[in-house]
Amino acid sequence: MLEKAGLLNKTKIAEGGRKLKKNWSISRVVLVGNSLAFYKETKTQTAASWKPGNRPESSVDLRGSLIEWTKEMSSKKNVFRLRTVTGNEFLFQAENEDYISDWYKTIKNVIETLVSWHSCVCVPVCACSRVRECELDLLLVFAVRRMNSDSSEKKRVKSRLRKFITKRPPLQSLQEKGLIKDQVFGCRLETLCDREKENVPKFVQLCIDAVEKRGLEADGIYRVSGNLATIQKLRFLVDHERAVTTDGRYLFPEGLCQEEKLNMDDAQWEDVHVITGALKMFFRELPEPLVPYNSFEHFVSKVESIKQLVWSLPKPNQDTMRVMFRHLKKVVEHSEANRMTAQSIAIVFGPTLMRSEKDFSNMAVHMVYQNQIVELILVECDGIFNPENKLLR
């Protein structure tokens, strides 16, 4: 549902709460449903030619956003600021006062409509695999702030939102009804592999290919952290979040930004530490680690039987482990450049790839075993994952 489209001067002044240097440019701005999308300005494209399938340069979710006129943040005239709940901030400007005022009013009306809609729904319509209470509390803060009525009206809205938070159905029931689908991050490995018809998740393979193509000699690879905001951006893109219209309908088709369409050569992922950070995050957020809970104690107590244990794992765990450790072996082969030895890799990935489900009393002892097991698998990678070779003794 196209609300409005046109040209505006735009600059991004903050991302994730971090201030950015102003860089004004002309952008084709499209307001559709709850999303404000930005396209490169071209001579051939018009508002009438815009279609929902067109891929924007970027977009923002207006739910819970704040909009206000500002004179202090720019020397230009007719400037308003838009701030999203994720901490991203933009300035928009146009020379024509009526034109920019119309944009301001339209965006403000959409934000207020979204607040009103969210205060009445019973079940959230979103593509997220989880709805966190802290996010809903943040929505509550913005909802109350935007209300212009008396205090009794604010209390009524607050009460409704509180009931919505406390009475919302559990995640499992929403998944069973098909209202919320598992995504990539936080999805069970077997479920994800079954959905993708593969034994190794496509995102894992994409990351490995990108690292081996241009990052094996990067200093401190897998130890040095990438920019968290960029990692989260990659994570949300992989989870192919979808825009929602003001009446609660999905705007874009499912799978618009699926991982198989993700271009790891894009300039925004040029820092290899962002890719390695996202890959580590994927494994950390698995509901059950790569080494399943029911295998943890066996790995700890029977290191000498490591090959048999690996081959006893479910096929998706086994194949993903084989691909991952062969990749890490290549990283170690470049240790003179990246300073990541087998021991360094084991320290980084030990707690990430395996952990106890319940026993947290011996975390220090477990960490020693975790590191030793990962290092052993890494050193004996060829023998463990080749059925014809024997494990070195």
Gyration radius from the chain CA atoms: 25
Are 257 and 364 contained in the same domain?
yes
| Domain span holding position 280 | 189-385
Domain boundary among the residues 131, 165, 181 is at: 181
Are 277 and 147 contained in the same domain?
no
Residue 369 lies in a domain: yes
Residue 393 lies in a domain: no
**Could you tell me whether strands 79-83 and 25-32 are parallel, antiparallel, or unpaired per DSSP bridges?**
unpaired
Are 218 and 360 contained in the same domain?
yes
Are 286 and 314 contained in the same domain?
yes
Are 229 and 367 contained in the same domain?
yes
Are 98 and 174 contained in the same domain?
no
Write the CA distances from 272 to 51, 220, 234, 322, 341, integer angstroms.
34, 11, 12, 22, 18
Write the CA distances from 374 to 122, 178, 275, 296, 348, integer angstroms.
46, 38, 21, 12, 10
Positive or negative, the CA dihedral 132, 133, 137, 140 is positive
Residue 350 lies in a domain: yes
Domain boundary among the residues 133, 154, 181 is at: 181
Are 303 and 241 contained in the same domain?
yes
CATH, residue 83: 2.30.29.30
- Are residues 136 and 164 in contact, defined by beta-carbon separation less than 8 angstroms? yes
pLDDT for 42? 62
> pLDDT tens, 81-94?
999 888 899 999 99
Are 168 and 193 contained in the same domain?
no
Name which of 316, 254, 266 is nearest 291 in CA terms.
316
> pLDDT tens, 198-238?
999 999 999 999 999 988 989 999 999 899 989 988 988 88
Whether the model pTM is above 0.85: no
Are 286 and 373 contained in the same domain?
yes
Residue 259 lies in a domain: yes
Domains held by the chain: number: 3
Domain boundary among the residues 81, 111, 141 is at: 111
Are 155 and 58 contained in the same domain?
no
Residue 223 lies in a domain: yes
Residue 305 neighbours by CB distance under 10 Å: 13
pLDDT for 86? 82
pLDDT for 393? 43
DSSP code at position 355: -
CATH, residue 226: 1.10.555.10
Are 167 and 286 contained in the same domain?
no
User: From the first residue on, what is the mean pLDDT of each consecutive set of 10 residues in the chain (393 residues)?
Assistant: 83 87 90 85 56 71 90 91 90 94 92 65 41 51 53 75 68 55 81 90 93 90 90 84 41 43 85 94 92 85 76 93 95 92 92 82 79 90 75 46
pLDDT for 178? 53
pLDDT for 237? 84
Residue 391 lies in a domain: no
pLDDT for 248? 41
Are 257 and 309 contained in the same domain?
yes
Residue 241 lies in a domain: yes
Dist. CA 371–CA 283, nearest whole Å: 16
Residue 26 lies in a domain: yes
